[in-house]
Amino acid sequence: MGLFFAKYKLFGIVMLGLSAVIVYLFYNALQPKKMLPIYQPSMVDKSLVDSTLHYTKKYHKVADFALLNQNGDTITQENYKDKIYVADFFFTTCLTICPIMTKNMTEIQDALLDDPNIMLLSHSVTPEIDTVAQLKRYALEKGVVDSKWNLVTGDKKQIYELARKSYLAVKNDGDGGPFDMIHTENFILVDKEKRIRGFYDGTNREDIDKLLEDIKILEASYKE
């Protein structure tokens, strides 16, 4: 009897291991896939959304734009075609939340530097101050990688409309006039179809970790 068990001991161990693997695979297959929501204006705090969009429940996308980056190049949606990207709003002379946001955006850049599917887009909310030359100085100081991250300036009204009507990111109702000033800590995750998939506090460590995780989930959804 002892000889019998000794003979089949290895076989039993292999079968036990194989059974464990099969159970694990079945368990994973039965787990619901993680999916990110597609945010519509009606799903967002009304104070962050232009009044013309409060009841929009579908088809919301980031509008087309044309702005200048730190190298003086015109940046449009074409530069972000088939890309997932993270957008935010900042200004180079900000001494409060912007340095923290830029530091965290730099961390995101570095974490995803070798992933060509992910890009970053930072809009200046004081374009009259943040000229191309000023953005270039800031980019060099902060370690911005040009191929990965565009800091953009341009028409103030266009930028403010993007903030309110496209990215649903700020509480200021201004029209981009000389005395308007928007300031938001939001990072916005945008998918390849120009739809908003997440909002994150760009000054919060836990939110940055969640953003990086959500980027992985979003990327994986395109591979299925």
Q: Residues at the annotated binding site for Cu cation?
A: 94, 98, 183
Of 189, 185, 184, 195, nearest in space to 214 by CA: 189
Annotated binding site: 94, 98, 183
- Collapse the DSSP code of 197 into the 3-class scheme (helix H, G, I; strand E, B; otherwise coil) and give the result: strand
Strands 186-190 and 196-201: antiparallel
